[in-house]
Chains A and B, each alone.
Chain A
Amino acid sequence: MAGEGYSLPDDLLVLILLLLPTSLRRRFRLVCKRWRDIVNERTPELQITTKILAFISQHGGSRALLFDTKSGGRRRLSWKYPCSHQRSNVALVGTSFSTITVTNPITGETQALPPAPRSPEWEQMRAPGKYAFGYHPTTGRYKVVHIPCGRRQVVNALQVFTLGVDTSWRAVPVDTTPDGGATYNRLCDAISVDGWTYWLDAFSARVMALDLDGESVSWSWGMMRLYQHKVDDLTGGGGGGRRSSAAKGRELLMNEDESNGVLTTFAYVETLEPIQASSSLSS
């Protein structure tokens, strides 16, 4: 076999490709026509699209909405959820002093996590950092990611907690030299899509990305615009000077009778894979 390349049978190639994150598998269609055909025909997520999942918290019946971004923000699905809990905001990861809870926004079910990582520096800065909640589609793991902000918004390491596996937070080093390390743009939320958690660098046009499976941090230049188009508007975040378009994104989501509510939005990736996120989150 050596020297002739590895002509794995189709069935084996499918098994291997299915272990990759969706985005990577789709990218590997660039390898050759055989791989393209196998990915297209044998791995079932061609229809992958990003949608907006919005929660509107109101007295007397909160609502969740799913939007199709492709058709210009048309409402695809809307449902009221019977949450008895009173909350002003929907956050999958909530913090209060040193306690951290993960909340299912639909049922209100909460899960307490071990104490949050602490550092005298963050306390001095009164900057507990941001939390993001991520799901990795091929491993089925849920992870909470803490992005601490130190002096000058420098991020030296992330803390990651895998639900159902970890008993304490793990540090994931962020080594993204040569540009003086990573920073975090506090004005813009971190967001998790399709097995990655993304955030914006504070001082350069970089999008930072944590692979939720391998837990390594990489980054990309020149993707800022794409990030803002695809993510920023959806989350209502505002990476410097983007406030107006973020507000426009909000208007798109809310009509009059909803405008009293508190809105939280998430980018939501829909695939045809049997993702268990929805079923286990609502179980």
Chain B
Amino acid sequence: MEVDKGKGEAEETRKVAEADRDTVTLKSSDGKLFEVSKEAAARLSTVLAGMIAGGSIDDNGTDLKQIGSEALENVVDYCNKHANSIPSAALISSSISFNTAPFKEPEEWERKFVDRLSHDALFDLVEAANFLGMERLLDVTCHKISEMMKGKSPDQIREVFNIKNDYTKEELEEIRQELAWAFYDD
């Protein structure tokens, strides 16, 4: 009987949550449902904020036809982690008057978050972040992709991005001529 009572309580809690609408339900292109904190979604995504404010959120799952379930799961995961993360103590405390970076470095947990993703997942996530207007997630994912690109030759880049080399030999040579300042040889 004790067990049943506990279950009843849980259901009640869920009902209260729905009534208060603390969360929104998002539906991926392949029909999977994900719940995310309304506060985090509105804070992190300009598109979701607009939908929440405009009342176009569907309680049965707001359709996000451009986003697959894997990418949406990562988006929701990011929102939840972001809501729980404690902002790192200000690194910049000195009085030095030289300017600091315009781009805010990813935090440790954000690095870990994108580091564990496969190439496919990362590229899908960057597009999802772009679609949903999630500026911070876009920064973090773009930063990760740019990190991946460093130290790679054009050949390796083509491999990673699966791009076909559509240059003629002469055209390549012409560009190489302009690259005298890049200290690479290939």
Instruction: Give A contacts to B, CB under 8 Å.
Output: 1-6, 8-9, 11-12, 15-17, 19-20, 23-24, 26-36, 48, 50, 102, 109, 111, 138-142, 163-165, 167, 193-194, 196, 198, 207, 209, 211, 213-214, 216, 218, 220-223, 226, 230, 276, 280-281, 283
Contacts and interface: CB of A to CB of B under 8 A. Distances in A.
A28 B182 contact: no
Interface stretch (B9-17, B43-51, B96-104, B107-115): B96-104
Given A20-B146, A26-B182, 5 more contacts: A6-B162, A20-B149, A28-B157, A29-B175, A163-B96
Given A9-B130, A138-B103, A220-B183, A283 B178 contact: no
Given A20-B146, A163-B98, A280-B99, A8 B123 contact: yes
B94 interface: yes
A6 B161 contact: yes
A167 B94 contact: yes
Interface stretch (B18-26, B52-60, B78-86, B137-145): B137-145
B124 A1 contact: yes
B126 interface: yes
B123 A1 contact: yes
Nearest to B143: A19
Top 7 A-B residue pairs of the complex, sorted by shortest distance between their CB atoms: A5-B162, A19-B146, A30-B154, A280-B99, A23-B182, A6-B123, A163-B98
Contact of B176 (A24, A30, A32, A36): A30
A4 B150 contact: no
Task: Tell me the dominant secondary structure on chain B's binding face.
Answer: loop
A140 B127 contact: no
7 contacts: A20-B149, A26-B179, A32-B166, A102-B98, A230-B180, A276-B102, A280-B99
Interface in B119-133: 119-120, 123-124, 126-127, 130
A50 B98 contact: no
A220 B185 contact: yes
